[in-house]
Amino acid sequence: MVKRSVGVFICVCLVVLFASCTIRVENPEQPSLFMTWLIDQAEQRLTEAFPDETFWGLWDAIGVTEGFDEVTDRGKSVAEIVKWEFRFASGDILGQTTGVIEWVDGEWQDPQIVNDQVMEEYIILDTGLPNVRYDLDQAIMMLRTSGYVGEDDWFSYVVFWRPLEFGPGEPYYVFTISPGVYIAIGSISGTVEEW
């Protein structure tokens, strides 16, 4: 009787063990994120328009909601961001000029090279983009659940960048909640903090 009970117990344990096991297959190719796809598209268009120009990497990508008023117009989703501006370090010397291209209402605008130097940001290199784990829609969801925004008080701007003052860390999605109030979400770590 004891042998039978032990045998049944072992069988039940094995069934429970195998029933709770999950087989995980990892895809060696990370799926393309909307944000990194947009950055790649912007860089490709700049490179095609200015084939003799040297592009060092992305300074930042700035997205604004419809109306572009920091106080009254708010967005709650990726779809409500109607304008993106991408700025890339360019020139023979790092950061000598800036390559700029805008994406407005889903249409790419003419790229430009401007004599605008960006001084407060680290460059986001193409080699760093595959490390981005959280896409913009995921960052917006984190913003929603963070407790920093109310039901109707979301964001008017979002900037994807690596600020110089925090050292060579990860790129952040930085949401402007109201004038002077910013919520930063790490694109690799997923950390949420007020700046």
Query: Domain coordinates of the chain in residue numbers?
Result: 34-194
Q: Does pLDDT of 56 surpass 70?
A: yes
Q: How far apart are CA 177 and CA 71, in angstroms?
A: 9
* Amino acid making up residue 188: I
Q: What is the pTM assigned to this prediction? A: 0.78
Strands (E), the chain: 55-65, 81-90, 97-104, 107-108, 112-114, 121-122, 157-163, 172-178, 181-186, 192-194
What is the model's pLDDT at position 153? 62
Average pLDDT over residues 72-80: 73
What is the model's pLDDT at position 44? 97
Sign of CA dihedral 7, 11, 12, 13: positive
Residue 76 has which token pair?
């709650």
What is the model's pLDDT at position 82? 87
Q: How far apart are CA 119 and CA 63, in angstroms?
A: 20
Q: Is the pLDDT higher at 170 or at 120?
A: 170
Q: How far apart are CA 84 and CA 168, in angstroms?
A: 24
For the purposes of burial, counting CB atoms within 10 Å of the CB of 93, is it exposed (0-12), middle (13-18) or buried (19 or more)?
Answer: exposed
Residues paired with 184 in a beta bridge: 174, 193
Residue 180 has which token pair?
């002077």
DSSP 3-state percent helix, strand, coil across the chain (nearest 5): 30, 30, 40
Sign of CA dihedral 99, 102, 106, 107: negative
Mean pLDDT, the chain, as a whole number? 80
Sign of CA dihedral 142, 137, 119, 95: positive
Of 40-49, 61-70, 130-139, the poorest mean pLDDT is in: 61-70
Q: Is the pLDDT higher at 65 or at 170?
A: 170
Residues in the chain: 195
pLDDT band of 1, cuts 50, 70, 90 = low
Q: Does pLDDT of 37 surpass 80?
A: yes
Q: Is 71 left (phi over 0), alpha (psi -120 to 50) or beta?
A: alpha
For 105, list phi and psi in degrees, rounded to 5.
50, 40
Residues paired with 85 in a beta bridge: 62, 102
